[in-house]
Amino acid sequence: MSKCIRDYTVINSQPSIEALKKLISEFFGTFGMTETIDDLFYYGVFCKPQNYANFKFDVREDYDFDIPYNITNYEAKQEEKIDYVEKLINQIMRKEIKKPEWMKYVEMNANCNEYEQAPSTFLQIIPKETQYEALAQRLIEFLYSPNMVITMVEA
C-alpha cells in the first residue's frame, strides 16, 4: 500500500493572459462588439504579494538590478512590505511602471518547499469601469474553478 507523503499544487497562470485575450476577443467578435480586453481591464500575472515581500535577498550578493529598500529592510513590518508590493502590482497592472527585475527574479528563483517548487502565479484583473467588476470576478472564478490536487506518493 502506498502512503501519501505530501499534497502540493502549483499554479502557473502565465499562459492565462493569452487565453484571456483570445476568449474576450472571440466572445466580443461573436456578438459584433468592438471593445477589446484593454478597453475593459488592467491585468497581469503575479505571485502572492507575500512571496515578493518575504524573499530573502542576499544583501552581500551583487545583483544586476536594484532591490528596493522597502524589501531588504529587515526592520520593516510584514504589513508594510506587503502593502508596498500590492501598490507596485497595481502600478504595473495599470502600466504606470514596468515590472521590476527584482520581482521577475523572485518569480524565477523562489523555492517554496523541499522539492524546490516555484511559487504559484495568479492572473489578476482590475476593471477599468465599475460596470465590468462582475465580469472580471466571473472570469477569475472560471479560471480557478477546476479542483485539482496532485498527490505525491512514496513508492
* Residue pair 13/122 in contact by the 8 Å Cβ criterion: yes
With a cut of 50, say whether residue 154 has pLDDT above it: yes
Q: Bigger pLDDT: 46 or 155?
A: 46
Which pLDDT tens digit goes with each residue over 104-153? 999 988 877 666 777 888 999 999 999 999 999 999 999 888 766 666 56
What pLDDT is stored for residue 11 in this prediction? 73
- Non-local CB neighbours of 127 within 8 Å, separated by 6+ positions: 40, 41, 133, 135, 136
Which pLDDT tens digit goes with each residue over 12-68? 777 889 999 999 999 999 999 999 999 999 999 999 999 999 998 887 888 999 999
For residues 143 and 13, what is the distance between their CA atoms, to the nearest angstrom? 9
Average pLDDT score over residue span 82-110:
95
What pLDDT is stored for residue 153 in this prediction? 61
Domain ranges (residues) in the chain:
1-42+120-155, 48-109
